[in-house]
Structure formats: C-alpha cells, structure tokens
Chain A
Amino acid sequence: MRVSELPKPSPERLLKQVQAEENKRWGAKLKIFLGYAPGVGKSYRMLDEARRRHERGEDVVVGAVQGQQSEDLQALLRKLEVIPPLQTSEGQTIDLDAILRRAPQVCVIDPLAAQNAPGSRHSYRWQDVQELLRNGISVLSSVNLLHVQEYKEKVQAITGKNTTETIPKSFLLAADDIVIVDVPPDLCLSRQGEKLTSTGISNSQERKLSELRELALLLTAEVVDAQLESYVHAHGIEPVFGTHERFLVCMTPHSNALAMIESGQRNKERFQGELYAVYVCERGRSKRERVTIRRYFDAAKKAGASTEVLESDDPISAIVELAREKRITQIFIGHSNRNSWRDRVFGDPVLRLIREAEGIDVRVFPH
C-alpha cells in the first residue's frame, strides 16, 4: 500500500476526461498536425485530409488558414468551402458564429496557436476550438513546436525565433489525435527557399532543425503513450510493456543507492525514458538509517525520479507489484552486504527479485 503518494490523476488526464465527457454526446474530435518548423508541410497534410474527407462525403469547411499559401495549398483550398474570418483594424478572428450556424461536421482551423484580435469572444484561438468541439464540430488543426508553451524556450535557444502565441502542452495531450509531419531538415529548408543539399545532416542549419525534429518526435511519442494508457484503462486490458524504457531504482539504507540513482538518471536521459525510485518501509529502522534514506530521496528527486514509498512486510513482492503497475522495463537493485536472519530464512532478496520479476530486466549493482 502506498503511504506518501496516493495515485493522483494527472492534470492532463483530468482535462482529457472532462473534454471527452463534453464531446461524447456529439462525437466531435480534435486532430492536431504537429511540425517541428515551418516548411515541414503540416498545413498541406491537414488540408489534404480535409479534401479527402470532403470527397468521401463528410461535411467539411475551412474556418481559418495560414497567411501566405503556396500554389499547392491554394489548389486544395479551391476544393473546399471557406468561411472567411472577420477582419478588424486590429487583426483577424475566426467567424465563430458563422461556423456554428453553418454547423459542419468538420472544421479546419489553422494555425492552432493564434491570438484573437482584441474584442473577440475569446482571447485565444484554442478557446474557439474548444467551443466548436463542445458544439459537436470536429476540428482539424496544426501547430508548430515553437508554439507549444513548454518548448518555446528550447526552440528559441536553438533557432533564435520567438513567439508570444503559444498553446499549453496539456492541450496536445488532451487532443483525440495527434500526427507528426516528419520531413528531413534539408527538404524543410528547401521549402523555405534554401538550396537542397544531399540526404542527411550537411550543415549547422540542418543540424539545428534536426534537434527540433527529435523533440517533436519525442513529444508525439509522449502523447501516443498517454493515449495508449487511457485506452488500456478504458478497456480494462493488460498494460502494454516495453514501448518506452522505464527504470526503477530500489533504495535501501545499505545499498549503493546514490550510484544507482546516478546511473538511473544517465539511462533515463540516454533512452529518453522515465525514472522511478522506491523505498519499502520496514519496521525497526534506526534513526541513522532514516536519515540516510531521506538523503537518497533528495538525490532521487534531483535526478528527476518519481519517488514512491511502500509499506510491506514483503518488500520484494511490493517492488514487483509496483514495477508492473508502472510498466517498468528495468529494475536497479543493490547487493546487500549484510546477512540478516531474514535473508537466511527467505533467501537472498536480490536473487528472489530476479526470479519474481518475470519479463523485466534486473540490474544488480555492486555495493
């Protein structure tokens, strides 16, 4: 049983639940096309999907499109019904009332991260999108990594580009669908008018874009992982193991926990995985041991681990149970160099863990 940290639903999941409930009656869905930079072709993919849906008989309208359009985009737009945005002296705002009156099945709103002109019903376009969804209208939209609040600074550090128009990452996590539009940096740059180089990273500009590309791929993977988890919850099926490396460090006062935490952090970074650290409370710990454990907890938190305290007379079973719940792929455990009466009765805990952690790697650390 968990003592300190009861499982709490994450804000993303709550938001998703709320949104799912709001939209359930109407079946409206939000689909977002994510790109790592301008020129990857998000808008094209999105409008092409709108065209295909229209041709298959869905009622599709376009509520907003990006400022400048290439010939390809214009050709797609000519095949679709467009509801023009409202023009004011202060800028553009999508014509929400006109779209609601028209009540299509699907509406294209591009880009997602835009600020509305002062005096509009909502300050942000993503709030318009929410209103459409609440009214049963599905939305196709696109966003660039720079405009995701949590990535803004990173992207800015790499490209020097800045923006005031952002959406929170939780909005992406709450979307019904997200698709990454992945294209090699050289092609992306050529669409921005640069000369096409040979396949692969050939210069520092492509190298920088490649960094953003990796971030966008990992962000999409994270969203897909969250969706997978809700799917598993909703259908009551077995959790999916092994799509993502998850490390669990077992801390005891007599193990080399600091070395394990450090290694865990390195593995987490290299695998772009997740790190957990657990301590199983046992009765009769001395004050000194408790101080040591507290120090380990601080180190684990600093290393970016989610920490758990369990209470159990059977630590190994408790650890294995937690590992299954958290879909752990590798458990880190230290050799214990003391030979307690418990070990003599129940067997070496490390060896027991190896036997019981079926399907999970066990990495044993020296003391």
Chain B
Amino acid sequence: MFESADTPRGILKVYLGYAAGVGKTFQMLADGRAAAQRGVDVVVAYFQPHARPDTIEQAQGLEVVPHRKIEYRGKTFEEMDTEAVLNRNPSIALVDELAHTNIPGSARTKRWEDVQVLLNSGIEVWTTMNVQHIESLNDQIWQITGIQVRETVPDGIVRQAAEIVAVDVTPEALLNRLKRGAIYKPEMVQKALTGFFKGSNLGALRELTLRQAAHEVDLRQSAYDETSGFQVPRISEARPSGATDNQPKERILIHLTADPSTAMLIRRGRRVADYLRADCTALFVHQTPELSQLPPEERQAVEKHLRFARSLQIETRILGGKDIAKTLVDFARQNQVTQIFVAHSQIGLLERLRRKNFTEDIVRLAQDLQVTVVADRSRRPGF
C-alpha cells in the first residue's frame, strides 16, 4: 500500500562493530545529527530505550518516531513502529540493531525485514550490527569464541548496503567501559567478563570486523569499477604475477544433504564464493525414484537446507540418482564446476575398513576435479 513501482529503493548504510558498547549507535546518531543540521529530514525510527547516557545525549534534538508497544506474556515490549515510520516518510530513518528478532505478535519476525519495508518505500536507512550477526560467519564465530550466535542477518541483506562503516575501539577501552558499568547493568558485568568479553575473544572479533569491512569496501569498489570502467593506479611491483586476475571464473558446487552439517557447508561455500567471486550452486541427490518418497523427516531437513541455501543467494538443484557420489561428480563435470564442497562425515573404524565413507568416495571419484572437504567447525581444532 505504501510502495509504488516507480519509487526508487532507499539506500542502506550499516555501522559494523564487534561487540555491544563499541559505539555503533553513538556514531550512527552523531552522523544523523550532522545530517539533520545540514537540513536533511532524519528521524530515529528505533533506538534502545535503555541506551547509555552518552548515546542518549547524541539523540537529543533528533526526532524520534514513537515505538510500538506490544504485550507479550504479561510484559510490555517496544518494537519499531514500521507503519508509523512509513507514514512519517522521512529521508533517512535510523534503525538500531538490524539483527534483532521482533517479539511474537509483531507484523514481521526480524527487524531486517522491517528495514526492507522501509527501503522498498524509498526511505534511506542507517542501521547497526555486529560482525557475529553475519550469517555466513556463524561457524567461524563458534570456532573462535565458543559462542553460538542465534540472531543472524543473511549476507544478502548486508550486501545491499551502499556503505559499511567500521566502528573501531580497542578491547581495552571496551573493557573499561564495561567495568565502569557503561555497557551493561552492574549485575551483568561479571557474566560478560567471563563470557563474550573474555580474553582473546574481543581481539579476534575485532580482527574479523576489520577484515569484513575491508572485504565489503573491496566488493563495492569492484561494483563501481564494472559500471564506470575505473582503473586503480598501481605501482609496478604491486602485482608481480599480473596474470592472476585473468583466471577462468570459479564455480563452486555444494553437496546438500539432510545432515545438519549441510548448514555449515552452505555458509562456508557462500563465504568462499564471495571472496573468489565464484558462482555457487547447491545440489541435492536423492536415491528414491521420486523426491516425495523420501522419509518425511529427511525431506523436511532437505527442504530446510534448500531454503537456507536460497536465502543466501545460492542456486539449488535436485537430481535423482542411485549412486549419489557418481551423480554429484557427473553433474560437476557437465557444469564446469571447479570445486566441489563436501562435509566431512565422521565415521567409525568399522565403516573405514569397509571403505564406506561417502566423502572419501567423492574424493576418489573426482580425481580430475578439486574437492574441498569442509571442516566441522563445531570442533575446535586440536583441543
């Protein structure tokens, strides 16, 4: 009702950090205030009601669209009032916490879905998120921190952003803020210090954020260069081999199954494809004559994985075949795939003796193709 075909989509800008308290919201509000002072029509569409005093100060003078109050299990929760923001129709809407999951009873499940509604109606959105909320990084975050992040944002949403800004602070300064009680309430601080904020976690997440930001900047440069024909001036020795950019395009094929490890495989495939600028396809091979003959549980798991792959902009295919490994490898050969991604299935000694490991079958069959056996990142190496 608010959209029209000729409304250009709104621009998205993301402030990327590595933990609560690094100053993402502060920076977004400060930039919003500067824009408002230039005469741009900026509103705060969502902003944590229990924000820190410094942050609240930054919001002073900015128009705030009242939040929507939702009753859930006897408590009142505040969510962004997307309809009210649409009615207000500002040039720029500031929306804190892109990865947030709305309280049941809201019109949409995720805040990033609300943000899509705003963008579709032509409103520019500035928002905040942490690196650990990027879907394809989920397993790496687990491997590094031992923490399972549940609220994630699909990579494609982040990719829509015209601009990503890294908000950096040293872990030491962040820990000082935490200890001063500037991030969480005092009773929460001890828990944070032994959990997410402990030891090397912050440094590792910070490094990931900086690398992710550099990668996002790089992708946007390539996009600009493709349309404008821009060429970066380079010093002669910057690229000694010279030829590496003229390689044929890589094609990655992900072997999709009902096994839970498939989610990890899809995320890793997405990430590698992104960096190598490769095409990415996920293939499910069923042994039954018809897909509908799969046992219901397996079928549900496969469908879940197919949907997940599509949500990360991976093309999905389904083929029937008695010999799964052979069908997969044949498909790869016919479609000029350069790398097959398979999960490493853990097997017992008995199966090993019987040589029934599927992963190993593929490695043996695909002697003319590259096969990447993706590690199970839920097992932290060596420990």
Contacts and interface: CB of A to CB of B under 8 A. Distances in A.
Contact of B363 (A179, A198, A265, A351): A351
A19 interface: no
A366 interface: yes
Contact of A200 (B11, B368, B369, B374): B11
Contact of A218 (B170, B214, B360): B214
Interface residues of A, number: 76
A261 B337 CA distance: 20
Interface in A30-59: 31
A182 B199 contact: no
12 contacts: A156-B235, A177-B172, A200-B220, A221-B211, A227-B203, A228-B207, A267-B276, A272-B211, A272-B215, A363-B370, A364-B370, A366-B370
Interface string A168-179: 000000000111
Contacts of A225: 207
B329 to A, nearest CB: 12
Contacts of A364: 363, 370-373
Name the 4 nearest CB pairs between A and B, nearest first: A359-B381, A200-B162, A221-B210, A217-B214
Given A157-B235, A228-B200, A267-B276, A210 B140 contact: no
B350 interface: no
B230 interface: yes
Contacts of A337: 367
Contacts of A220: 168, 210
Contacts, number: 201
Contacts of A245: 275
Given A182-B213, A267-B276, A364-B371, A201 B168 contact: no
Tell me the interface secondary structure of chain B in the complex: mixed
Interface of A: 31, 153-154, 156-158, 177-184, 187, 196, 198-201, 204, 207-208, 210-211, 213-214, 217-218, 220-221, 224-225, 227-228, 231-232, 235, 237-238, 240-245, 262-263, 265-267, 269-272, 302-304, 324, 330, 335, 337, 350-351, 354, 357-367
Interface string B166-179: 11111011000000
A181 B23 CA distance: 12
A228 B201 CA distance: 9
A354 B373 contact: yes
Contacts of A200: 11, 162-163, 220
Interface string B266-300: 00100000011100000000000000000000000
A199 B124 contact: yes
B377 A242 contact: yes
B208 interface: yes
Given A179-B169, A182-B165, A354-B360, A361 B275 contact: no
A211 B234 CA distance: 11
B218 interface: yes
A182 B367 contact: no
Contacts of A324: 381-382
Interface string B357-381: 1011001001111111111110111
Given A270-B276, A358-B381, A198 B11 contact: yes
Contact of B247 (A157, A266, A358, A367): A266
Given A214-B217, A361-B375, A201 B203 contact: no
Contacts of A363: 339, 370-373
Interface in B102-132: 124
Contact of B369 (A154, A198, A208, A366): A366
B244 interface: yes
Interface in B26-74: 31, 38
The CB with the most chain B CB atoms within 10 A, among A231, A358, A365, A366, is that of: A358
Contact of A204 (B228, B234, B374, B382): B228
Contact of B11 (A196, A199, A218): A199
A210 B218 CA distance: 8
Given A225-B207, A359-B375, A217 B11 contact: no
B370 A207 contact: no
B100 interface: no
Contacts of B168: 179-182, 220
B9 interface: no
